[in-house]
């Protein structure tokens, strides 16, 4: 911020300009608080020092990627930085963690391709150039690591690129958490495919944009626990409903109306449509078509998009029928009816449109007319049908149109969400908000009021987030920030939404009164907010009002506020459309609860708008926000045009300048210690000479200059506003003084030299001229004396004459002035007396008026208070009613629970019934005896009752005393007997109960034992099943064994008829012949040779042929599983395997498992992927064995006759391997006994069968796999070092001053290239490992060629993506490292390094460009043909624009060269390949089997000594070298 302390003469500054917003210049003069400035365009401007901002002359030529790095964080600095980057096609810039995206209005595919996404994947925020992918990556990582949902808020005005930015965000999020396509389409594709539908029904032409979204869209991407996209949902907010009925010129209504009017002719005739000019809802504006847009084409595109998102043909027809009905509904005009305040359709045209509307909505025409022209009022006594006047009927018509369109839009959104699919189990999501930005037009109505209210809410959320980020930065650096003030806009929000006195509340109140007009509403606002600092009443209007928003003042016209806010929920409309014969229309209007159908309730769009906005803010507050501010650089929508004033307004509307103000309230300038010391170390050179820490050096510099209020963090210096300019002024003074000292010495030397030469010549000339000069002086003195005397007399005469004239004039003037003063005093006293009288009367009138207003206000306040109390009572009653409903729901739940328990009880009863049936037989006797006893008891009770009746009669008849005694005795006896009998029955009943309990206990025990037996039975069944499976496998093995034995018989008979088969072999053959049907050929062979077999039955060798061969194979597998080493440069294991397979004729058999066992052994050996020694050993063996097979095997005709199931394997090599493991049996191999030749001396061609050819393919796959594992291991090892090698370690000026000796400098140089030496060491160790295992040099060359290509790609891409790497000193650092790699290639020789050094051509040429001197003098041809012939124009342009010289302060190439590059880039813009400036890493296998075979020499395997494990075995005697 500009202050007088920082500005001196010669300072470079920014000043305001009405046309360009800001212009730069230098101060030429300072007069007090005014400064004279010479601007760069040649003008001279005078401005106040408080309105001048300092300019950073040391700012990088290409700007900074984060504007918090600017030395001066103010409006002109921000604007200049954005402009500089935009001219270089750098459209993204950070402000802290806020991304500013400027619409380039041209295709830039190279910054959005897959390579770029891969670069930003997992990269720390701020490490690479600013990008929308970086914001998405931060949101995704935060969601994965912290488990909290995130949101990305994309805002900006129409045409700023919000929708494109949203598409890129979803593309990148799908790239990170992608999932398999659903029905051929991914989630983000489905979301993007829904855009044409939503745009057709939710977008319209506005003043600034032909395709402006008139609703907010919040896309929720849902993720599962693994971070993959599991679903998505589109939430829409704040649809501009009033646009359906009211539009202003030159805007348009929603696109769908115009699309339908441009539909094919049969559609138009079906819906009875015509030109848009004939419809009232469309002809309020004179704009019907868009330039360059075909509504007919867009109609067909919308229909296709509806098909894609799953809207059926029937539903589409219903949708457009509803759209047509809305158009016809708008043409229904009303006139006065016969009755008072009634209305009817005006003419035949209105009746036609009424009929068409009813037909399209499939409802009754008379009912529709009644619903529009009449209202039903329900009173306690009766139902009254009231007519509406024409104006009210028109309002009712518009309300119906808005309700139908709003519900149609909501249905479309729900349909799209159902088509996409949502994940109810998703715990985290990333939401992308695309919502309209701040709007301020010449005419601002209710829509702009709601939109700006939304942006005020979002701005409050944004301010809180920015302030929070500032606090986190200060907390991270551990500095004090407690006194920083927070800029808040709560007063504007209270003005708009506060209850009961906000603008929305007053608007709703005005809408509820029928006689309210926009004038009364405006007057109410004026009275309520006349003292509010954010509310302004215009002087020249009686209905307009101005609100001071955060982005500036907006003048609103309240003419249509009341009409646009009304949104009546009319039961007649609901009933009419709910009863429609069209299921689609009826579905849009489901039945309402009874409470809402009793009467017409008022509902306002403003209140609903506020509720939706509140819901949106709750969603945003529950997530971690990230902000992207989209900016439209010009209103022409053309590339390379940067309109300063327009962009400043957008930055202000987007809250970017508000964020800067928040930063300026704290510490706007932050500099790392290293940069601060580099820049300002010269202010205290004595501090640099001391042995101080960087932090201490910074503090001493600041204290020396007397600055206050700064903070020293952990890694940065934090300066208050203006302190950076003050330090720069001090630095400028120091540099200026130093320059002056140098200039003084040089000028003194030159001037003295010139002076001495001049003095010698002038002395001689002076001596000649002095004599002549003396004569002239004498003559002049004489003439002067005479002239002085004449002048004295003339002056005396003139002075006396002037004095007399002046004296007379003064006297006349004084007389006049005194008369005027007297008149003025008299007039003043007269006016004072009159004003006192007027003031007295006015104060009396004012006091009386105040009393009347106070009285009237108190009465109004009392009425409102009583109304408030009444509403509270009503709310309590409603709450009580809701609680009753809640109790009823709880009762229903309990009843359901009781029913469920009853059902369970019945189930338990049924189970117990089974138990009772089991006990029934045991208890039967007890029940019978109990019944008998019960009968006896009943009989006894009957007799007893009879006796009692008899006794009563006797007592009545006989004398009392005597009869009583007898009766009592008899009764007592009977009672005793009955009591005894009952006791005996009770005893027997208890005994029976004990028996029943005992039976029940036994039953439970029996049941428990039965369950245990059932479990044992299940275990037994499982064991039986396992035995059956093992039996099946054994049967398969026996079958395979029999098949091999058949082939064995054929070959044994044909090759060695004189050999004898063991008895066991004969028995196997006999069992095979008896066991069942065999293949025809084998059976024939068995029959042919059966006599010879019978002849040999007597001989019994010790072991069978198969057992012997199996033992030999097992021994071979155990042998090669060990590390056998090398014989010379030949791998022993490969040679032994080859000789054994050749000796056993394994290549020529149809079925064998030895190949699979060898492959499995190799697979087990390389399971440890990080053991490079083991991998190199097996690469050497596998490649050698593959070479031997390549030179030995030739395909036979029988190989083509392999079973079909063997040849139908996968196209990939490992697919063939896995199929082989499935298809090959595990039985005993076919082989020959040791009677054939003793060894294999030379390679000979063998006709290979299918297993051998498949083994060769598997071996090829393993060679490629092991090669890839070795290459990837080396990549993993050097990747961390490459990240450190691209940028030189920073060394502070203090450390450079201290390390002045040569030894210290050499140590520092070694430390600088330590990372490069680490790479060289890794390469050397790897080469030694490959040499030690005798890996073919051909493969070694291929490995290092690909590794150097990887180094080239990583270094070059990092150079292009990180501006801090494109510096002169960094180029020298990387050049030194590349020299280390070149020296390593020289030491490794061409045999192993090959052409690896040539793979670094891109990074070598790029570094050569960075370190070359005098870049501005280089022409385009020299750069592109001589210096960097390999680099593309895009790559050269990026390096040239990102280059900065941190060592000598030189500049990049000339502006002409940059312009030429830009022209060439524009010409190639249609070529996507040329636009991609990043390199791609090639991870393919760069060789074939034929290449490997041609590169390797012949291998002599005759003299290979077998290992001790098989040397003594007679079965491997053929491996022993032959003696001559």
Catalytic residue numbers? 158-159, 163, 209, 212-213, 437, 439
Q: Is 165 annotated as a binding residue?
A: no
Number of other residues whose CB lies within 10 A of the CB of residue 891:
10
Buried b (16+ CB within 10 A) or exposed e, 347-359: eeebeebbbbbbe
Tally of residues, the chain = 1524
Q: Is 163 annotated as a binding residue?
A: yes
Pick from 1015, 1024, 943, 1019: nearest CA to 981 = 943
Radius of gyration of the chain (CA): 51
Query: Which helix (H) or strand (E) segment is 374 a member of?
Result: strand 374-378
Q: Is 157 annotated as a binding residue?
A: yes
- Kindly state the tokens that stand for 1392: 């192993």
- Kindly state the tokens that stand for 1207: 């040849």
- How are beta strands 669-672 and 552-557 bridged, if at all? unpaired
Rounded CA-CA distance 1380/1164 in Å is 38
Long-range contacts of 307-315 (CB under 8 A, 24+ apart): 308/193, 309/190, 309/193, 309/194, 309/197, 309/415, 309/416, 309/419, 310/415, 310/418, 310/419, 311/197, 311/412, 311/415, 315/415, 315/584
Rounded CA-CA distance 1078/1069 in Å is 11
Contact 710, 717 (CB under 8 A): yes
Query: Which helix (H) or strand (E) segment is 375 a member of?
Result: strand 374-378
Which residues contact residue 1182 at a Cβ distance below 8 angstroms, ignoring those fewer than 6 apart? 1134, 1162, 1259, 1262, 1263, 1266
Rounded CA-CA distance 308/842 in Å is 77
Rounded CA-CA distance 1240/1145 in Å is 12
Rounded CA-CA distance 1189/1179 in Å is 15
Q: Is 159 annotated as a binding residue?
A: yes
- Kindly state the tokens that stand for 263: 């539909």
Contact 3, 51 (CB under 8 A): no
3-state secondary structure of 102: strand
Phi and psi dihedrals of 123, rounded to 5? Answer: -75, 140
Q: How many helices (H) and strands (E) does the chain have?
A: 51, 28
- Kindly state the tokens that stand for 985: 């029955």
Rounded CA-CA distance 700/694 in Å is 10
Phi and psi dihedrals of 569, rounded to 5? Answer: -95, 100
Query: Which helix (H) or strand (E) segment is 93 a member of?
Result: strand 92-95
- Kindly state the tokens that stand for 142: 């935060």
- Kindly state the tokens that stand for 392: 């009210």
Which residues contact residue 1059 at a Cβ distance below 8 angstroms, ignoring those fewer than 6 apart? 1052, 1233, 1235
Alpha helices for 222-312 (secondary structure H): 255-261, 265-271, 295-308
Q: Is 62 annotated as a binding residue?
A: no
Give one word for 827, left, alpha or beta, with left for phi > 0 and alpha for psi -120 to 50. Answer: alpha
Q: Is 1063 annotated as a binding residue?
A: no
Number of other residues whose CB lies within 10 A of the CB of residue 1054:
10
- Kindly state the tokens that stand for 1521: 């070298």
3-state secondary structure of 1176: helix
- Kindly state the tokens that stand for 1202: 């392999």
Which residues contact residue 1072 at a Cβ distance below 8 angstroms, ignoring those fewer than 6 apart? 1042, 1045, 1046, 1078
The end-to-end CA distance of the chain, in Å, is 100
- Pick out the residues of the known binding site for ATP: 156-163
- Residues of the binding site: 156-163
């Amino acid at each position: 911020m500009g202050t007088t302390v920082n500005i001196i003469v010669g300072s470079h500054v920014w000043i305001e300009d009405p046309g360009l917003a800001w212009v730069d210049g230098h101060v030429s003069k300072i007069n007090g608080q005014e400064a004279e400035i010479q601007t760069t365009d040649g003008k001279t401007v005078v401005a106040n020092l408080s309105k001048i901002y300092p300019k950073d002359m040391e700012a990088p030529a290409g700007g900074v990627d984060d504007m918090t790095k600017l030395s001066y964080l103010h409006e002109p600095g921000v604007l200049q930085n954005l402009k500089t980057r935009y001219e270089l096609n750098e459209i993204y810039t950070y402000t802290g963690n806020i991304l500013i995206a400027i619409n380039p209005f041209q295709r830039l595919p190279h910054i959005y391709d897959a390579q770029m996404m891969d670069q930003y994947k997992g990269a720390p925020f701020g490490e690479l150039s600013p990008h929308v992918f970086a914001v998405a990556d931060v949101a995704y990582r935060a969601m994965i690591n912290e488990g909290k949902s995130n949101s990305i808020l994309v805002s900006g005005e129409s045409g700023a690129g919000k929708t494109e930015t949203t598409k890129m965000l979803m593309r990148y999020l799908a790239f990170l958490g992608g999932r398999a396509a659903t029905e051929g389409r991914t989630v983000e594709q489905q979301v993007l495919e829904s855009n044409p539908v939503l745009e057709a029904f939710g977008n319209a032409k506005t003043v600034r944009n032909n395709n402006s979204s008139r609703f907010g869209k919040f896309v929720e991407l849902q993720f599962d626990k693994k971070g993959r996209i599991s679903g998505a949902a589109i939430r829409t907010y704040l649809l501009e409903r009033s646009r359906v009925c009211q539009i202003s010129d030159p805007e348009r209504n929603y696109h769908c109306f115009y699309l339908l009017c441009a539909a094919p002719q049969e559609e138009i005739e079906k819906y009875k449509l015509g030109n848009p000019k004939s419809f009232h809802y469309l002809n309020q504006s004179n704009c019907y078509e868009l330039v360059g847009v075909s509504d007919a084409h867009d109609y067909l595109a919308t229909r296709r998009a509806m098909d894609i998102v799953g809207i059926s043909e029937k539903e589409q027809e219903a949708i457009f029928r509803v759209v047509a009905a809305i158009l016809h509904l708008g043409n229904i005009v009303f006139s006065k009816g016969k009755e008072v305040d009634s209305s009817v359709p005006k003419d035949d045209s209105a009746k036609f449109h009424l009929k068409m509307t009813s037909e399209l909505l499939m409802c009754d025409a008379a009912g529709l007319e009644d619903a529009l022209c009449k209202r039903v009022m329900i009173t306690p006594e009766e139902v009254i049908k009231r007519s509406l006047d024409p104006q009210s009927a028109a309002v009712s018509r518009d309300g119906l149109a808005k309700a139908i369109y709003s519900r149609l839009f909501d249905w479309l959104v729900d349909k799209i969400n159902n088509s996409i699919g949502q994940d109810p189990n998703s715990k985290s999501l990333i939401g992308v908000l695309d919502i309209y930005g701040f709007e301020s037009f010449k005419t601002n109505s209710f829509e702009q009021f709601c939109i700006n209210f939304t942006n005020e809410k979002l701005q409050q959320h944004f301010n809180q987030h920015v302030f929070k980020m500032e606090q986190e930065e200060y907390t991270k650096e551990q500095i004090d920030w407690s006194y920083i003030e927070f800029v808040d806009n709560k007063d504007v929000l209270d003005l708009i939404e506060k209850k009961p006195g906000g603008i929305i509340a007053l608007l709703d109140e005005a809408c509820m009164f029928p006689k309210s007009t926009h004038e009364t509403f405006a007057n109410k606002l004026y009275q309520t907010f006349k003292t509010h600092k954010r509310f302004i009443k215009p002087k020249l209007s009686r209905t307009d009002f101005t609100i001071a928003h955060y982005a500036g003042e907006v003048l609103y016209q309240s003419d249509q506020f009341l009409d646009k806010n009304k949104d009546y929920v009319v039961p007649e409309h609901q009933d009419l459309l709910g009863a429609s014969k069209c299921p689609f229309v009826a579905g849009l209007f489901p039945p309402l609860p009874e409470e809402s159908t009793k009467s017409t309730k008022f509902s306002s769009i403003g209140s609903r708008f506020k509720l939706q906005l509140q819901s949106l803010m709750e969603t945003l507050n529950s997530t971690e926000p990230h902000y992207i501010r989209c900016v439209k650089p010009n209103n022409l929508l053309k590339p390379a045009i940067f309109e300063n004033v327009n962009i400043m307004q957008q930055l202000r509307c987007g809250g970017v300048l508000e964020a800067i103000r928040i930063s300026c309230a704290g510490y706007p300038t932050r500099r790392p210690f290293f940069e601060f010391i580099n820049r300002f170390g010269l202010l205290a050179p004595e501090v640099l000479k001391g042995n101080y820490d960087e932090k201490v050096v910074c503090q001493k510099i600041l204290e020396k200059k007397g600055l206050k209020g700064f903070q020293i963090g952990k890694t940065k210096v934090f300066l208050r506003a203006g302190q950076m300019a003050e330090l720069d002024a001090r630095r400028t003074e120091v540099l200026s003084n130093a320059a002056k000292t140098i200039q003084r010495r040089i000028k003194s030397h030159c001037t003295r030299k010139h002076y001495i030469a001049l003095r010698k010549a002038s002395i001689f000339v002076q001596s000649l001229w002095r004599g002549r000069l003396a004569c002239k002086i004498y003559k002049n003195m004489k003439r002067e004396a005479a002239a002085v005397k004449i002048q004295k007399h003339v002056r005396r005469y003139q002075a006396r004459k002037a004095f007399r004239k002046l004296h007379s004039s003064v006297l006349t003037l004084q007389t006049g002035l005194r008369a005027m003063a007297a008149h003025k005093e008299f007039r003043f006293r007269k006016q004072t007396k009159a004003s006192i009288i007027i003031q007295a009367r006015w104060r009396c009138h004012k006091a009386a008026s105040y009393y009347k207003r106070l009285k009237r206000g108190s009465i109004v306040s009392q009425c409102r208070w009583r109304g408030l109390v009444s509403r509270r009572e009503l709310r309590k009653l409603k709450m009580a009613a809701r609680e009753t409903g809640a109790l009823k729901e709880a009762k229903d739940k309990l009843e359901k629970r009781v029913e469920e328990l009853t059902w369970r009880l019945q189930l338990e009863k049924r189970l117990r019934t089974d138990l009772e049936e089991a006990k029934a037989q045991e208890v039967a006797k007890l029940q019978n005896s109990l019944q008998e006893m019960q009968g006896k008891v009943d009989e006894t009770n009957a007799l007893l009752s009879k006796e009692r009746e008899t006794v009563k009669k006797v007592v009545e008849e006989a004398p009392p005393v005597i009869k009583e005694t007898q009766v009592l005795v008899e009764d007592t006896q009977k009672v005793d007997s009955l009591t005894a009998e009952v006791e005996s029955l009770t005893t027997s009943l208890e005994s029976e109960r004990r028996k029943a309990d005992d039976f029940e206990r036994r039953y439970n025990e029996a049941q428990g034992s039965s369950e245990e037996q059932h479990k044992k039975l299940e275990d037994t069944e499982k064991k039986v099943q396992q035995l059956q499976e093992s039996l099946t496998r054994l049967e398969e093995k026996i079958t395979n064994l029999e098949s091999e034995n058949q082939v064995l018989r054929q070959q044994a008979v044909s090759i060695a008829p004189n050999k004898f088969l063991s008895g066991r072999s004969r028995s196997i053959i006999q069992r095979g012949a008896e066991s069942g049907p065999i293949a025809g050929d084998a059976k024939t062979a068995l029959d042919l040779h059966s006599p010879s077999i019978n002849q040999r039955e007597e001989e019994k060798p010790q072991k069978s042929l198969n057992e012997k061969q199996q033992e030999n194979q097992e021994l071979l597998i155990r042998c090669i599983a060990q590390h056998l080493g090398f014989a010379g440069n030949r791998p022993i294991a490969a040679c032994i395997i080859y000789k054994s397979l050749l000796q056993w004729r394994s290549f020529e058999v149809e079925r064998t498992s030895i190949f699979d066992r060898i492959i499995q052994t190799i697979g087990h050996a390389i399971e440890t992927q990080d053991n490079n020694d083991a991998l190199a050993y097996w690469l050497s063996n596998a490649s050698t064995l593959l070479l031997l097979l390549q030179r030995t095997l030739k395909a036979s005709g029988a190989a083509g006759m392999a079973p079909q199931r063997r040849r139908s394997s996968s196209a990939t090599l490992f697919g063939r391997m896995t199929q082989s493991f499935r298809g090959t049996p595990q039985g005993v191999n076919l082989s020959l006994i040791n009677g054939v030749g003793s060894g294999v001396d030379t390679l000979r061609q063998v006709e290979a069968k299918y297993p051998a050819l498949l083994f060769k393919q598997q071996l090829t796959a393993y060679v490629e796999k092991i090669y890839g594992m070795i290459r990837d291991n080396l990549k993993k090892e050097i990747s961390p070092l490459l990240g450190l090698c691209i940028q030189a370690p920073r060394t502070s000026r203090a450390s450079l001053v201290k390390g002045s000796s040569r030894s210290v400098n050499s140590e520092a140089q070694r430390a600088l290239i330590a990372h490069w030496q680490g790479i060289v060491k890794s390469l050397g160790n790897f080469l030694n490992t490959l040499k030690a295992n005798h890996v073919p040099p051909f493969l070694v060359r291929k490995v290092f060629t690909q590794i150097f290509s990887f180094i080239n790609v990583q270094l070059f891409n990092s150079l292009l993506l990180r501006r801090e790497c494109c510096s002169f000193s960094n180029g020298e650092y990387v050049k030194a490292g590349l020299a280390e790699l070149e020296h390593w290639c020289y030491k490794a020789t061409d045999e192993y390094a090959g052409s690896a050094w040539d793979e670094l051509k891109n990074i070598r040429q790029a570094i050569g460009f960075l370190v070359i001197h005098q870049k501005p003098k280089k022409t385009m041809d020299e750069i592109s043909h001589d210096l960097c012939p390999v680099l593309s124009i895009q790559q050269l342009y990026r390096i040239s624009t990102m280059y900065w010289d941190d060592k000598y302060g030189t500049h990049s190439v000339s502006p002409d060269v940059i312009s030429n590059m830009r022209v060439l880039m524009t010409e190639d813009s249609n070529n996507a390949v040329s636009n991609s400036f990043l390199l791609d890493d090639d991870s393919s296998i760069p060789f074939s089997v034929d290449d490997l075979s041609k590169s390797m020499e012949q291998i002599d395997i005759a003299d290979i000594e077998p290992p001790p494990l098989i040397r003594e075995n007679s079965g491997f005697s053929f491996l022993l070298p032959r003696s001559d």
